[in-house]
Structure 1
Amino acid sequence: MANSEIIVGLDIGTTKIAAIVGRRNENNKIEILGFGKTESIGVKRGVVSNIEDTVQSIKVAIKEAETRSESDIATVNVGIAGQHIKSIQYRGSIIRPNAENEITSTDIDGLTENMYKLAMNPGEDIIDVIPQEYTVDGETGIKQPKGMLGHQLEANFHIITGQTMAAKNIFKCVKKANLEVDSLLLEPLASAEAVLSDEEKEAGVVLVDIGGGTTDIAIFQDGIIRHTAVIPFGGDIITEDIKEGCTIIKKHAEDLKVKFGSSLASENRDEEIVAIPGLRGRPPKEITLKNLASIIQARMEEIIEHIYFEIKNSGYEKKLIAGIVLTGGGAQLKHITQLTEFITGMDT
């Protein structure tokens, strides 16, 4: 299949690296052709920590996606996350030489491009600039100023920044896997496009994507992205807690979490017990599900408190009618919805 016809997404995550291949059909919808995924061994908390391991994982995932989709992949759209991601609000403006001429795409693009020239802290780069709403000659709340007349064009921008080296390492890994980067996307925004409806974004909603190494947050209100944040905790830290708390190996800890894990200890009875195989002929180890849930609940409470802090920090806490939408692997834990509602008081 010709490369020009396909769109490829590459998610370089902490627990897995996944590639998905799609094609735009006649209804302008993306039709999935195939996907590939493999274990991620060179990424810690959303940031590349071993170039060679990451490159090998990317190659395996891409090869699988090529086989399943019967396509040749040359360019990819890559997601970026990690605790180094920050967001700021900024207001920019331009004075147009002739107010009688209609505002054009060139004027709007020029205002957006100016934002990329802002001075950042050493070692930080602007990853994305998202216009929120425009003002034309003092008239506020304009979502699309194209075609209007006016002398001064202003806009509020949501600017996403990240560590220069973290982004460069992603580019380097992709290039070493013999691929080109078409675009670099913030993963909370990519998740929002996949999971949220326009009605939810309009009403006001918090998207919480609980991954392996990080928890990504995106807050929308009035159809506009208002706040993004990345919390450096995810499902992996819960597995580590179980491993330490129950003194078992990581593989068994992960299996326990996935099969029997619960975010509310009160939902489990004392007599519910699971046996873990002993190492090299040693007797099996018995663990109560209530104890397991207590370990998970303690860490989940911490993660949800961080999420709630970001919601309050955004200033939109009282304006999020659609509440919280949970997604990602960590969101599959039993009773996580009830715990989230209990701590935040918001619909989930």
Structure 2
Amino acid sequence: MPQNRIVVGLDVGSTKVAAMVGEITELGEVKITGIGECPSNGLRKGIIVDIDGVARSILQAVQSAERMSGQKIVSAYVGVTGAHIYSVNNKGVVAVGNKDGEISVADVERAVSAAKVINLPLDKEVLHVIPRQYVVDGYDGILDPVGMVGSRLEVEVSIIIGASASIQNLGKAVSRAGLHIEGFVLNPLASSEAVLQPVERDLASVVVDIGGGTTEISLFDEDGLWFASILPVGAYHVTSDLAVGLRIPLSQAERIKIEHGCVLSNLMPDEEYIVISNVGGQRKVSKKVLASIIEPRMQEILHMIKQEIKSSGFKGVIPAGVIFTGGGCCLDGLAELAAEHLDMPVRIGYPCNVGGMIDMVNNPRYATGIGLIIYGSRRMASQEAAADSDNNFKSYINSIKSWFKDLF
């Protein structure tokens, strides 16, 4: 398969860097062909504190993905996270340009450009402008107005904004690892591409990606992004709580969290124990004690998620509920605890919109990386469709020119 049908997603997180390789088949399907990951160095809560450390981690993950996929990786779609990210909603209104009232692509572009005009601090930049719906002469709920007839076109958009310095530092780290950046993509937007079912996109739903240093929240309604927010707290805080509470190294606390972590202490029987090691030797700790350390931190994170959803300004119900993904959502009992705290349906989101090495990547921790590939494949398809349209137009013009030459 030619190189231009390869899409790479690069998830640069606080605890791990994952590079994922996908091939786009002739039918437009996405097949995962390689994955490489390594511990992340130089990031804290999604913010780069050591560019060279991040670059080394990226390079190591990319080389591992290259060996598995057999493909040389030269570019990637890069996920962006961090508490500096936030979203605002805005509207843009224009008069339809054509005399016959037919809305063109240029009209849509002018409306979106008008919606982009906001007061932006000097240290911030726009990451995405995502149309939610169009309104033609007062009729709302329109997803694609091109070809319709009207005199007034309005668009409602979500604008994703981030700190310029943080985004530029991430770009420098990727460049130092020898990669070209195809585009920056908001992490929760990417995760949603991997875990949301079509019906959940149509209904209102919330995707929560619990990573190592951040928790990413995105609210969708009628297949459009309504709100996005990133909290500076994640699964690493659970690891830290276990290390402090049990007086053990962070590496051992992480292993115990993964193997025995549970967020509901009342589900744990008193008689089940694990053996831990520390300076004083080995000792037994009940699983109930582990859960009693983990549960308060997860309750705090769930409370913060609930407050963020309330602050979004979304007034409707959320019938599809909350879909949790990311490595931090794999703790036993999380779905039950979240459903109780959020008072909504809850499920754990696994990557579901790809093929290939699905057994290897069928884990919530890979949702962002896979979502970046799906995002990139859709952008590639859009670019190819535009190129075909342009080529068809040029071919038509050339045929007209040839006809006139033959005629005269």
Write the distance in 1 (CA, Å) between the matches of 2:339 and 2:315: 14
Equivalent residue, structure 2, for 1:181: 181
What do the CA deviations read for 1:100-142 (whole angstroms, capped 9, x no partner)? 1421122212322344453312311111000011112222221
Instruction: Work out whether residues 47 and 82 of structure 2, in 8 Å CA contact, stay in contact via their aligned partners in 1.
Output: yes
Which residue number corresponds to residue 323 of structure 1?
321
Q: Offset at 1:257? A: 0.9
Cα separation, 1, equivalents of 2:307 and 2:173? 34
**Mapped partners of 2:41, 2:330: distance in 1:** 22
Match of 2:384 in 1: none
CA distances 1:253-278 after superposition (whole Å, capped 9, x unpaired)? 11111111110111112232222123
Q: Which of the numbers 273, 291, 294 marks the counterpart of 1:293?
A: 291
The 5 A counterparts of 1:222-233 are 222-233=222-233
Structure 2 CA distance, aligned partners of 1:216 and 1:286? 35
Any conservation in 2 of the 1:99–1:150 contact (CA below 8 Å)? no
1:25 is matched with: 25
Report the Cα distance in structure 1 between the residues aligned to 2:163 and 2:333, rounded to whole angstroms: 35
Deviates more, 1:317-326 or 1:192-201: 317-326
How far residue 196 of structure 1 moved from its aligned partner, in angstroms, is: 0.3
Q: What's the counterpart of residue 302 of structure 1?
A: 300
Match of 2:367 in 1: none
Whether the 8 Å contact between 2:17 and 2:39 is mirrored in structure 1 is: yes
Amino acid at match of 1:342: E
Change (3 A) 1:31 1:330: same
Deviation at 1:151, TM superposition (A): 2.5
CA shift for structure 1 position 99: 4.3
Aligned pairs for 1:75-224 (under 5 A) are 75-224=75-224
Q: 1:326, 1:97 → 2: CA distance?
A: 44
Residue equivalent to 2:268: 268
State how far apart, in whole Å, the 1-side matches of 2:26 and 2:4 are: 15
- Higher helix share goes to which structure? 2
Question: Aligned partners of 1:59, 1:99: CA distance in 2, in Å?
Answer: 55
Give yes or no for contact 1:2–1:71 (8 Å, CA) kept in 2.
no
1:223-245 CA-to-partner distances (Å, cap 9, x unmatched) read 22111111111100110111111
Give the conservation status (yes or no) of the 8 Å contact 1:88–1:159. Answer: yes
Q: Write out per-residue CA displacement over residues 156-179 of structure 1, whole angstroms, 9 at most, x where no aligned residue.
A: 110000100010011111111111
Amino acid at match of 2:183: S
- Who wins on radius of gyration, i.e. which is larger? 2
One-letter identity of the residue aligned with 2:259 = K
* Alignment of 1:238 onto 2:246: no
Are residue 5 (structure 1) and residue 1 (structure 2) matched?
Answer: no
User: Which residue is 2:341 aligned to?
Assistant: 343
> 2:281 is paired with a residue of what secondary structure?
coil
Q: Which has the higher contact order (CA 8 A, sep 6+)?
A: 2
Q: 2-side partners of 1:117 and 1:222: how far apart? A: 24
**Is contact 1:44-1:213 (8 Å) kept?**
yes
Task: For 1:47-58, list aligned pairs within 5 A.
Answer: 47-58=47-58
Q: Is the 2:174–2:180 Cα contact (8 Å) retained in structure 1?
A: yes
- Retained in 1: the 8 A contact 2:248–2:278? no
Distance 1:272 1:70 in 2: 46
Distance 1:53 1:265 in 2: 38
Distance in 1 of aligned mates of 2:315 and 2:108:
30
Q: Please tell me whether the aligned partners of residues 270 and 289 of structure 1 are also in contact (alpha carbons under 8 angstroms).
A: yes
Superposed CA RMSD in Å reads: 1.5
Q: 1:3, 1:73 within 8 Å by CA — same for their partners in 2?
A: no
- Code of the aligned partner of 1:283: G
Amino acid at match of 2:82: G
- Shift in Å, 1:24: 1.0
CA distance 1:108–1:318, change in 2 (3 Å):
closer
3-state SS of paired residue (1:271): coil
Q: CA deviation at 1:222?
A: 2.0
In the alignment, what sits opposite 1:312? 310
Cα distance in structure 2, aligned partners of 1:220 and 1:334: 26
- Helix, strand or coil at the partner of 1:326: strand
User: Is the partner of 2:255 in helix, strand or coil?
Assistant: helix
Deviation at 1:16, TM superposition (A): 0.7
Instruction: Answer whether contact 1:99 1:149 (CA < 8 A) is retained.
Output: no
> What percent identity do the matched residue pairs reach?
36
Q: Which residue number in structure 2 is paired with residue 333 of structure 1?
A: 331
Quick one: distance in 1 between partners of 2:177 and 2:2? Answer: 20
Matched position secondary structure for 1:125? strand
Deviations 1:14-55 (A, max 9, x none): 111011111111221111121111110111111211100100
Q: Report the count of equivalent residues.
A: 346
Name the SS of the counterpart of 1:284 in structure 2: strand
CA contact (8 A) 1:221 1:319 kept: no
SS of residue in 2 equivalent to 1:277 = strand
Which 5+ residue runs of structure 1 have no aligned equivalent?
none
Residue type of the alignment partner of 1:308 = K
What TM-score, normalized by structure 2, do the two folds share? 0.82
Please give the alpha-carbon distance, in whole angstroms, between the structure 2 residues aligned to 1:223 and 1:77. Answer: 22
Q: Which runs of 5 or more residues in structure 2 are unaligned?
A: 347-408
